[in-house]
Amino acid sequence: MRLVTSTIVTCAVAISLAAVGHAQDFEHVEVQKLANGLHYADGPIWSYEGFLIFSDAPVDRMHKWIAGTGDTEAGMQPGGAYGRTFDTDGRLYTCEFRERRITRVDKKGKVDVIAARFEGKRLNAPNDIVVRRDGHVYFTDPAFGSQDDKKDLDFYGVYHVTPKGELEAIGRWKTRPNGIALAPNGRTLYVSDSDRRNIHAFDLDGKGVASNDRVVIENIAGVPDGLRTDVDGNLYVASKAIYAYSTPASGKAKLLGSVPLAEPATNLAFGDPDLETLYVTTRTGVYRVRLGVKGALPY
């Protein structure tokens, strides 16, 4: 990998964030390139300790990006790490697509396997994950490329793990779920469908039970992947570009605009101490976009 200093590119952006609530109107944002030469970057998450974590998944490398220091390798993370998140106790959850499981690591380094099998069969290839503040875990389990040839289950799943460790499939799809995110109030779960290029929403009750699976956004350009929400409930989709949609949970989602990138995005995360910067992974790089919109914590 070739380390890079932050390269700033000013991009014309067709997005008016006055509609997003907390930001002013603008026509341009600065897109900083933080790292390049990666094999396939994914799993960005902003750490409690003030830095970005992301994966170079095919070679099992974990990276850190620290302001003023830049991108550094932070050690091996075997298993094929894709999506990851924290819970309110600071424990790190990771989708290990190659090991076909979900792991959780506490602050002392203790590793627990949260999910690996369903109905007696191995999971396909866990891809992305989110944890609600009360401990309910939701993750996607598609299978892409050679993963599809090895799958044991006859569907692609969206799963719920209760705080007691009970695993249930809340979606048994024939198409492949990918990115996943929660609305700020924790009552709506969003899931991207990479095959049909749309976004689903589920209602979640106080006990974490999911219902009313429906499509809320259609015809997304590119292949929708990772998802994030801001504090106003607007949804950001990693795809051919970064697309912002107004509050899909209201049933009146509309495209607010897009942030173009040099290559398709794989995932994204809000970060910086004020959570007003969007960090974006692509196949070979990592970018930083200062939006001035406060992201909702994904945990």
Is residue 65 domain-resident?
no
Cα gap 25→15, rounded to integer Å: 8
Is residue 186 domain-resident?
yes
Mean pLDDT of the chain: 89
Q: Which residues, 6 or more positions from 116, have their beta carbon under 8 angstroms from its beta carbon?
A: 99, 100, 101, 102, 122, 123
Contact criterion met (CB below 8 Å) for 140 and 157: yes
Residue whose C-alpha is closest to residue 242's, from 270, 200, 216, 203? 270
Residues of the domain holding 123: 79-290
Q: What percent of the chain has pLDDT over 90?
A: 77
pLDDT of residue 273: 93
| 72's tokens | 């550094």
Is residue 48 domain-resident?
no
Q: Per-residue pLDDT tens for 28-37?
A: 778 899 999 9
Give bridge partners of residue 188 from the DSSP assignment.
203
Is residue 4 domain-resident?
no
Q: What is the mean pLDDT of residues 246-258?
A: 87
253 pLDDT tier (thresholds 50, 70, 90):
confident
Is residue 46 domain-resident?
no
Q: Per-residue pLDDT tens for 161-200?
A: 999 999 999 999 999 999 999 999 999 999 999 999 999 9
Give kind and range of the element (H or E) at residue 263. none
Is residue 135 domain-resident?
yes
Question: Starting from the edge strand earliest in sequence, which strands make up the sheet with 81-86, in order?
Answer: 81-86, 92-96, 101-105, 111-115
Position 10 pLDDT exceeds 70: no
Q: Which residues, 6 or more positions from 166, have their beta carbon under 8 angstroms from its beta carbon?
A: none
Position 103 pLDDT exceeds 80: yes
CATH number (domain holding residue 115): 2.120.10.30
In the block, tokens 């850190």 appear at 64
Q: Give the residue, 15 or 231, on which the prediction is more confident.
A: 231
pLDDT of residue 25: 38
Contact criterion met (CB below 8 Å) for 46 and 52: yes
Is residue 162 domain-resident?
yes
Is residue 90 domain-resident?
yes
Q: What is the mean pLDDT of residues 147-159?
A: 94
Query: For the chain, how many structural domains are there in total?
Result: 1
Cα gap 52→45, rounded to integer Å: 6
